[in-house]
Amino acid sequence: MSQIQELVVNVLDLRGSFYQIGLKQGQEILNITPQIMLDKDTINTAEYLLKKFSPHLLEELEGLAEGTGLPLTTVISTFSGYDVPFPNMGCSTLVKDSYYVRNYDFSPDLYDARLVFVQPATGFASVGFSQQIIGRLDGMNEKGLVIGLHFVNQEHKQPGFLATTIVRMVLDQCKTTSEAIDLLRKIPHGYCYNYSLTDIHGHSVIMEASPQHQEVSPSSAIACTNHFETNTLQCKNQEYIQKSIERKRYLQTLIKEDLLPEEVFYRFNHHHSPLFFQDYKDYFGTLHTVLYSPLDLSVMVSIGGKSNPLTFSFKEWLNGTLNLPSKITGILTHN
């Protein structure tokens, strides 16, 4: 018998310095129980790498420490995304005709349930779904750059950052897909992930990234799921990737159809879609569907299934003329 669950996603409106943004989030987080505590040397390495690749995120972590009342070492261990494990997840993305649509499939038990609009005093403003507070699962910045992550494998790991932190670094610092590729090649990757990217110029790519090597595949339209396809990196796939291959094949059929963005969104979000899943107990249920439009900086969002999507103008929010709701509610149907 199916179980119905309401999922509430909080919508955050954050502006100010990175420290102030961290402070505000820290003050709103209640009852934190740190699950991960890195050793001193690893914490020092994480702090060094944040200073090197993303000093503003270290400032945000310092504000987060102040807001939560936790030591900075604990906050770095818990929220930096450096050298920490993360379970398997599913993601399906299609990029075509200046839009980027995506399903994120995981468990509500390990989901931040936060859609974050952030406008720092320095760096680029962005909108996206958070993970581990400072990280992002996907997002679009004020320059029209869009990026999302796709888990591939947690084997072949090396000390490095989780993809959620890496996505946030890209959104904060990069104007174009080319700039993002350059940054992605420099940051130490902890695990094997795909990154799907597009920008306001229609430059779309899939970057296959392992800790040891990265490959870039450009295309005018892309379909991206949870396995590597280049000859160099296929050997790093999980043993069973058939479901990921099937989702990619379905995405490729959508590319060939003449569909409006709203129609593609429906193909992702309808509960009978081959891209929509309800296996939440097995960490593979669709939590959100999102469509980012770089040309007009709009965002269409649906939480779970059987809900009407909401559309936000990120441009209006940047101009201070859009009032955001405090939350978005959706329904999850557990198989």
Q: Which residue in 28, 40, 15, 122 sits closest to 69, CA to CA?
A: 28
Decide if pLDDT at 238 tops 70.
Answer: yes
Compute the distance between CA of residue 72 and CA of residue 171 in angstroms, rounded to an integer: 24
pLDDT of residue 308: 87
Say what the pTM is. Answer: 0.97
Phi/psi at 22 (5° precision):
-65, -40
pLDDT in tens, 264-319: 999 999 989 999 999 999 999 999 999 999 999 999 999 998 788 999 999 999 99
Where along the chain do its domains lie? Answer: 3-15+88-334
Mean model confidence pLDDT for the chain = 95
User: What are 8-48's pLDDT values in tens digits?
Assistant: 999 999 999 999 999 999 999 866 666 667 889 999 999 99
DSSP state, 326? S
Q: Residue 67 above 90 pLDDT?
A: yes
d(CA 286, CA 137): 13
CA distance 202 to 99: 9
Per-residue model confidence as pLDDT tens digits over 135-159: 999 999 999 999 999 999 998 899 9
The pLDDT value recorded for residue 29 is 84
Name 236's Cβ contacts closer than 8 Å, sequence gap at least 6. 152, 153, 155, 156, 192, 210, 228
Amino acid at 237: N
Pairing of strands 3-16, 114-120: parallel
With CA atoms as reference, report the closest residue to 211 among 244, 184, 183.
184
Q: Can you give the pLDDT at residue 30?
A: 67
Specify the CATH number of the domain 3-15+88-334: 3.60.60.10
Alpha helices in 129-241 (DSSP H): 163-173, 177-186
